[in-house]
Amino acid sequence: MASRTAPFAPFEWMIAWRYLRARRAEGGVSTMTWISLIGITLAVFALIATLAVRAGFRAEFVDTIVGANAHVTVYEMGAMQPNGTVDRSIRDYTLRAAQIADAPGVTRVAPLVRGQVMASFMGSDAGMEVYGIAPEDLKGIPRIADPETAVGDIERFGEGIAIGSGIARSLGVQVGDRIRILSANGVRTPMGTSPRVNAYEVTYIFTAGRYDIDRTRAYLPLSEAQTYFNSEGAVHELEVMVTNPDDVEKYAPGILAAAGNTAYIWTWREQFSGFLSALDIEDNVMSVILSILVLIATMNIISGLIMLVKNKGRDIGILRTMGLSEGSILRVFFICGAFTGIIGTVLGVILGCLFALYVDQIFGMVNWMAGGDAWEPSIRGIYFLPARLELGDVLFAVCLSLGLSFIVTIFPARRAARMNPVEALRYE
């Protein structure tokens, strides 16, 4: 009769439930079981919280890259000059920009002039990388032309200079102030090249969301930058934006073909390959470490179940003599262990999701307790701790925790099932 009992029959659940809710004096839930429950809860919480922060950090970091930089940059191979230098200026940039704009997936092409300068204001100095760009092209850069984080009027960009918020703080300038910029490669004279010094009104201050960009980048109108950097009638590169930056490799061949035989390109993935590789390595290492943490937490289930089996030896002997099969005994104790894993996983998922949803408030409290800024933008690149809750990460944590909980439960449950009823009752 016992052999025909359906698996996980109601009486098996009833026995397991009675064992779980029995008082400690009756051999019920032991201290080790509570430790297992708390351990699994904290492990799953840590796994989900870390995966959420990892996903949020990657998404924010990549967004600051593709939102403030070219998805594809087109350069000229250049030609050797009589003086031994290589001229890589692009002189037919208007024609090339039009050709590249017709390539599949291209949304915008902007000619750029770049140069390094020193900026000064009221005795304060700061190094800057100046980008010469047309006003209409500047408006097409999402992280730069953001009215919510910017100060000033981008429509007045053609009348002065746009600088990052980090430069503005370093120099102590506001919109309307005039800053001086100095370039060592300036005015060409019969006696050689002398430094060029110009003064510009700050008309726009942007915050791109990346510390290194806001701390070093500035924009000048293209025509002014061409004059300032001795690049009249030419540009240094072409900035190309595509429909989907994640698929930039798909668009690269078409862009290169449209750019001409003397051009070469550099995608944003190639430019920031070091950062992206570091993120991938960190993601993999953290996933492995936290998975081991979940495994260690679930191993405590074995200790709790072994103690429960030992306390319930007399009950096991009686149940076996009443006709319960080894399978029924195994399932009873499997339910006891699995129930601990399920409850711990559910509590861990709740805590992890709450952390991801309220990470700003939690981190604000951490800052307050630390007595200052616990997040250093100059090291981490972005200004805040992001968290992005993704269904795949939650499912991974749930499947890992439940899978390990169910697997480790089988071993003590089998021990209980194979217990000899005669031996179990000998000393009772």
Q: What's the pTM value of the predicted model, to 2 decimals?
A: 0.76
How many Å apart are CA 33 and CA 4, to the nearest integer? 32
Q: Provide block-wise average pLDDT over 10 residues at a time, the chain (428 residues).
A: 62 77 55 82 92 86 87 87 75 93 94 94 92 93 86 92 93 94 74 79 91 91 92 93 93 93 92 86 87 87 77 72 77 85 94 89 74 58 75 93 90 78 58
pLDDT of residue 17: 77
The whole-number pLDDT of residue 372 equals: 61
Closest CA to 158 of 204, 111, 217: 204
End-to-end CA distance of the chain: 27
Q: What pLDDT is attached to residue 26?
A: 47
The per-residue DSSP string of 352-420 comes to HHHHHHTHHHHHHHHHHHHTS--S-HHHHSBSS------HHHHHHHHHHHHHHHHHHHHHHHHHHHT--
